[in-house]
Structure 1
Amino acid sequence: MRSRVAGVRRRDRRGRGLRGPLAPPQAPVSRTRAERFGDLVDDEVRRLGARWGRELARVEFAVEQVPGVEPWFDGPVPLGQTVAPPPASGDGGRPVRIVVFRRPIEARANDEAELARLIRDLLVEEVADLLGLSPESVDPSYDTPDD
């Protein structure tokens, strides 16, 4: 039995040449799901920043895979979270952080349009909560979910 060293390219097995990418790197199809998700978040942050730029100047937006929950956690999985810096930090330089959790949001979306809508609604709700406003005042196109 031969061992393969990771990263070492061997000759191809059937004489067809080494495989390469199926699409050029700049093509949308070659982007990973995580990269496409990040692009949707960036687009929404830019859209909100156009209207609330001054208020969101000290806010950092981030994407994480999953929320950190305890194994005994027995509630709904959070889709996002606003993290404020510790009050006793003294430096005052750390920004408020709004985190979007990719995997729980992707699990709830049926298609790309619904994914974009979920990201938009989540970010609008988090920004509204941060600013102490209603989601409709942050984004007039926000549609109140039916409960």
Structure 2
Amino acid sequence: MKTNIGISETNTAEVAHELSKILADEFVLYTKARNAHWNVEGPDFVNKHLFFETQYNELADIVDNVAERIRQLGHYAPATLGAYLELTELTEIHRQRNDGIGFIKELLEDHEHIIFTLRKHIGAFASQYHDEGTSDFITGLMEKHEKMAWFLRAHLQ
């Protein structure tokens, strides 16, 4: 059934495409947080293991919400690893040491990248595509990433 929410099909398609790229970034970041949780080593293991668990749980909710926003617009969310790797702007880093600080720096860079991406789309979604709902939605996502980045940054002080 056609989605009738007051936004043209062309505009919902454009917004869904941009959200698909954001979803891919979110999923890659989620996977990297899982990697940090599973593989962190060092004298602060327990603290970092639990910290990364908190991060990936928050990211799991974000991934689900972005995919559901795409569906609300009447489009299908990408849901394969291949699609995510084609759409993401993030990279996988292969490290030689699995220390907490290294994982934190890497995750922080990715959060900051996503914050910049979301900030770039807030105005465009509202003004260019007439989708204030998605603009508001990604503003909330940006705030979540800003908080998560702050928590990561605090470990580097």
What TM-score do the two structures reach when normalised by structure 1? 0.27
Q: Which has the higher contact order (CA 8 A, sep 6+)?
A: 2
Give 1 or 2: higher strand fraction.
Answer: 1
Higher helix share: 2
TM-score (norm 2): 0.26
